[in-house]
Amino acid sequence: MDQIFDGTNFMREILGWIMNSIGYYLILKKCGGKPILGLIPVVREYQISLCADKEPEGRKFAIVTALEIAAVIVVEVASLESYPGGPVTIVASILLLSLFLTSLVYQFRIYDGLCQVFGRRKRWLWLWFFAEPVIALIWGISKSFEPRKQLEVIDADAGAKESGVIVKAVDDGLTINIENRTTIDFFQKKYLLKDIHLRIPKGHMVLLLGGSGAGKTTFVNAVTGYEKADASIILNEQNIYTEYAKMKYDVGFVPQLDLMRGNDTVYRTLADAATLRLPSGITISRRKKRVLEVLEEFGLASIQHSLVEKLSGGQRKRLSIAMEFISDPSLFILDEPDSGLDGVVARGLFEKLRSIADMGKIVIVITHTPDRVIDLFDDVIVLAKDASRTGRLAYYGPVDKAYDFFGKDSMEDILLTINQIDEGGEGRSDEFIEKYAEKTLETERKAV
């Protein structure tokens, strides 16, 4: 009898899974998703949350579902005759119960979202709980159940056309050829960057401009080698990717938020940076001399014995920059160095960066207030999201020519031009991405 009962339960579970799968397949098809994903456990839990407009809950629900499956397997294995009632069985059972209760919370939110998207009353919410396979099948098959909106499916090939140009490396400067930078985000391949090719001569100070989500941080990480892309990054004839161990100290990056200890002195902070960033074979006297040189260079010598926590905002920023400058890098990248600084102090900081570029360095800066210091920059890199929401190159070149290219008279107006309409912009990013791609092709043809 027990065997017959177990067999019946097994067949019931199989039938429920088939009904669920068919229902989810058809629901995803109605919502404009990928129906085949409705057949894959864990993946389908996330996909159905997209139909319900509950993506954050769907991520968590999928994770909990995966853990539930793992816990069931552990309970089944641990419940074999050789481990009856053992501690593993007890722990796994408790874990399974807690996961089950957690999944109920996310199921409730997702089913509620489905009812809203399909315009159905709350009573269907409870029917989903107690008869999910049947309800999924009904909603999938019946033509009277139609979603009020479709999923936003982003086609990676829907964006602006690519230039297809690989720029030749300069002997003395930075050459960037990024084919693409992708990531896998919850079962989906996403393009973060694509088709970015440019050369920056040494001695240039460059503004990195782009709206939220345009890929500025991803671009910086790709250039520094922190997060590698499908790319070639050549600095002074050296490949940053293939020779990263040797080149990482030739690239300085100053983040928006500093990582300094408040109870250290300015001198101690810079001395610690010198220990980390200068070659291990350098003598103590040479290292100390370099610290003193940089203190003087950045106007910090008079406060070298002050605690970091006592410094003004401008002084802290100078110290942050000095920490990276200690290794005398050829490439210097700064993320919003003027954040929190007033106009006068910010201006002084950017004038210092200009002087660093004039030493023959390459300086790339991200700032949200470029127009107040734009006269200090040589060039501007403009990144924009195309129709596929991928970060693309909309312009690179001299600042004055950027105004003509976009038909605007300020960097802020340029940004508004390329920002998406739902971000308050004009939504013309694809237009300028393609315009710049054509310009690049023309330039390369003439060079050949």
3 state DSSP class of 151: coil
Q: What residues contact residue 162 under an 8 Å CB cut-off, 6+ apart?
A: 194, 195, 437
Q: Helix, strand or coil for residue 448?
A: coil
Does residue 76 lie in a domain region? yes
Is the distance from CB of 373 to CB of 346 less than 8 angstroms?
yes
At 83, give phi and psi (nearest 5°).
-130, 40
**pLDDT: which is higher, 378 or 151:** 378
**Statement to judge: residues 131 and 183 lie in one domain:** no
Predicted pLDDT of residue 81: 52
**Residues of the chain above pLDDT 90, percent:** 59
State whether 311 and 203 are in the same domain.
Answer: yes
Q: Which two tokens stand for residue 56?
A: 């954050």
Same domain (yes/no): 72, 177: no
239, 400 Cβ separation under 8 angstroms:
no
For residues 250 and 353, membership in a common domain is answered with yes
Could you give the number of structural domains in the chain?
2
pLDDT band at 257 (very low <50, low <70, confident <90, very high): confident
Helix, strand, or coil here: 358? Answer: coil
Question: Which CATH number do you get for residue 330?
Answer: 3.40.50.300
Domain span at residue 36?
Answer: 2-141
Q: Please state the φ and ψ torsions of residue 327, each to the nearest 5 degrees.
A: -90, 5
- Based on the domain organization, do 137 and 183 belong to the same domain? no
Q: How many CA atoms lie within 13 A of 163 on its CB side?
A: 30
Last residue of a domain, one of 89, 120, 141: 141
Q: Assess whether 73 and 184 both reside in one domain.
A: no
Residue range 168-194: mean pLDDT, rounded: 89
Query: Does 263 map to a domain?
Result: yes
- Considering 65-79, 85-99, 289-303, the range whose residues carry the highest mean pLDDT is 289-303
Which structure tokens are listed for 390? 């991928």
What does the DSSP 8-state code read for residue 444?
H
pTM of the model: 0.80
How is 211-259 classified by DSSP, letter by letter?
Answer: -TTSSHHHHHHHHHTSS--EEEEEETTEETTTTHHHHGGGEEEE-SS--
| Residues 346 and 402 both lie in one domain | yes
Instruction: Sort 153 into a burial class: Cβ within 10 Å, 0-12 / 13-18 / 19+.
Output: exposed
The answer to whether residue 365 sits within a structural domain is yes
The pLDDT of 396-411, averaged and rounded, is 96
Report pLDDT digits (tens) over 287-328: 999 999 999 999 999 999 999 999 998 899 899 999 999 999
Burial (Cβ within 10 Å: 0-12, 13-18, ≥19) of residue 287: middle
